[in-house]
Amino acid sequence: MGGKSKQSQRTKNNAKPSSSSRSAELLNSGLKLDAGVITLGSGKSLPPLFPTLATANLEQGLNPEFQICFKKLTKKDPVTRAKALQDLCELVNNGDVEDVVAALPSWAHYYRILTTDIDRKVREMTQVCHGAVVGACGRRTAPVLRALLPAWLAAQHDDHAPAQSHARNALAKTFPDTKLPEVISFCKAEVMAHLLDNLIGNTGAVISKRIQNAEERELQMNRIITSSLQGLQYFLAHLPAAHDDWLWAQLEPLLQAPAFWKLAGGASPVRAAWFACAGQLAARGAGRLGAGRARHLLQLLLGARAAPPVAAQQWAALLQLMHHVPEWHVYLDDKELLVKRLLAMLENGGWGDGRQLSNTLLPLLAHLPQDLITKEFYEAFFNAIFTGLEKKSVLNSKSERQLWITSLSECLRYLSIQQYDYVLEITTNVHRTWLTRVLATPQDAQTRSNLIKYSAGCMTSLVKYWLKQSNEHKSEKYDQLVRNFWQNIGSTISAQIDKSGSDVIEIGQLIEGHILLLQTLKTSFSQEAKKQLNIKFDDDEPSAPCDSSAVPAPSPPAAAGPDPAAGPDPGGAARYWHGLRGVATGAAAAHLAAGAARRLAPAVLAPLVSLLVAFDSEDLFLALSRQLGQPSVSALYHNVLRGWLAQDDMRCEALVDVIFLMTEYMTEPEQDAMFDTFQQLAPGAVEWCVSACLRHPMMARPGARRWLGGPVAGA
């Protein structure tokens, strides 16, 4: 008697709300509730009065297991939230589809919150679970699509790669490329409201209440702003043009807000995203920006030199502005600042992305104001490229240095087609500097070889382009460029030979570099011609013509020489081979003369044999003879090389190989006379001669067989 009445037991897992929760529900019902966001009559979003209970009405009637998972999503512990998402994902994958569809409103509410969770594992599992939910519901996701899509688009740019990947894959799987613009158009108001709220709304105040740690709060704020800027860039790129008037009306508050423009000075991820977004704004409708905003944007783009993580987006945005705003240079207050920024960027090795740099430089050159294009500008421009190429970050990466060389080649080709008076001079000087720096690079053998081979391949494409232009337009400028090309190679090789000392290792490296250059010039020309050939069947559609102006990578060795089936001079092939053979002959003669003068024949001839084999011809050996003051190949042997065979410091097996190469251009009596002198050689030299005679094709020659059967070889 008089005791308190017993209270009824609470429902398991608190699925049934208490009286206090029902009161909170009634309080919340006095306002308009949409997926957990309370709005006043003016449309201004406010948090619900009781956040943990704001979705109680959404969860009523759900499968109890779903209710348990959703309740755990409100816990402070990130491990609990991640585990709840994992359990929810299993329910979606293994449960009844009708239960999943019923849970869509609740999921739309939590998805917006969890996509910006401070814990990366929670964000990752959120996207995994989201992919499972929309995959299970399919078209039945439509009623909550407007609530889902804004956060979904931003999640594509999460700084946690797995979360980003899952969000993108789910979007691509749900909406093919042809369908996505329609979906974005359908949800455009919600997407724009979400992005504007994150960028210039009260996001900072909300985060300040949720996160007490200042460092974590700043990281979270930067993460949300970065993903929102990238989401806006994506939205601008995919919203159909039919909505332009609506779009720019919605963007006006953003463009008027000082907070938006201040983001250009934020943390590196924010700055990079802001520049990318600004570039997309310029591309979407530069004429709608207005002169004042275009000038302000240009000032920000040319502000303080950006760090590598930001520079790529900064220069890409500048290029977008140049391309889509024809009068952009009118807003350029300091034209020298643009040149200064460009040269500094190149001298410092770009921004660590050679491919992006390669895609940027040529369009950038094409859009520069004419009053900036001077002889001095191009000299400084190419010097900056050479300085950047020497940076360790470029040289130590094979892909980076190859992309830099490709950029150099493309910019040099672009200069060569211009009509300025100084084009011939600058192009020739840049090519000469390119040769000198590549051949003299003080790097390890592998890096040096790669630089020489790739540069030679690009140079081949360059001279082929000039030959093609010369044949098509009969232009003296291109004829002179071709002549200067071969003169540069010959003079550079000769100058390096003259400057070389008596160090055997240095001489060997020098000759190997020269031989690699010449052999690659030989093989890459033939390989390029072969790449244009393909198998074609009678019922095939005609294929597009091959663009011979594209810069290829150096090719593996192939047979040299013009294609006899391609006509009298296919693409200037005869002129190319004439120039290359002339340079190879001059290089071989210069090395042989230097070896004779310095008494270093063994050091010179050992690597030189491969060059003589590659460019073997009568003209080559006649040139060698004349270089050493002899009228014929036979005279070269009797008056010079025979004496070297008799001298201990000049005698070597490579010398015997050179002598036997020469026999092809001797008459049979001259060969017999040569073999007769072998009886006076030292035993070691005779053994080398016997070995050479036994190799093909010498073994088939009558003179060699007679000598092998004679007393000297038989002994």
Q: What is the pLDDT of residue 582?
A: 92
Asked if the model's pLDDT at residue 395 lies above 50, the reply is yes
The DSSP result for 507-521, as a single string, is: HHHHHHHHHHHHHHH
Q: What is the pLDDT of residue 238?
A: 92
Q: What is the pLDDT of residue 203?
A: 75
Q: Identify whether 711 is part of a domain.
A: yes
What range does the domain containing 690 cover?
Answer: 632-715
The structural domain count of the chain equals: 1
Amino acid at 207: I
Q: Identify whether 703 is part of a domain.
A: yes
The position carrying tokens 């020659």 is 701
C-alpha 449/C-alpha 613 separation (Å) is 20
Q: Nearest-CA neighbor of 668 among 710, 618, 704, 713?
A: 704
Q: Identify whether 688 is part of a domain.
A: yes
Cβ(624)–Cβ(636) below 8 Å: yes
Phi, psi of 546 (to 5 degrees): -70, 135
Q: What is the pLDDT of residue 585?
A: 92
Q: Nearest-CA neighbor of 560 among 550, 573, 570?
A: 573
- Tens of pLDDT, residue by residue over 149-206, are 999 999 999 999 999 999 999 999 999 878 899 999 999 999 999 999 999 987 777 7
Q: Identify whether 670 is part of a domain.
A: yes
Q: Nearest-CA neighbor of 316 among 350, 344, 265, 290?
A: 350
Q: What is the mean pLDDT of residues 483-493?
A: 96
C-alpha 479/C-alpha 192 separation (Å) is 58
Q: What is the pLDDT of residue 445?
A: 84
Q: Identify whether 701 is part of a domain.
A: yes
Q: Identify whether 694 is part of a domain.
A: yes
3-state class of 38 per DSSP? Answer: strand
Q: Nearest-CA neighbor of 426 among 484, 368, 476?
A: 484
C-alpha 639/C-alpha 643 separation (Å) is 7
- Tens of pLDDT, residue by residue over 554-612, are 333 333 444 433 444 555 889 999 999 999 999 999 998 888 888 888 888 988 999 99
- Tens of pLDDT, residue by residue over 427-465, are 999 999 999 999 986 778 888 999 999 999 999 999 999
Q: Identify whether 636 is part of a domain.
A: yes
Q: Identify whether 73 is part of a domain.
A: no
C-alpha 265/C-alpha 359 separation (Å) is 26
Amino acid at 713: A
- Tens of pLDDT, residue by residue over 118-159, are 899 999 999 999 999 999 999 999 999 999 999 999 999 999
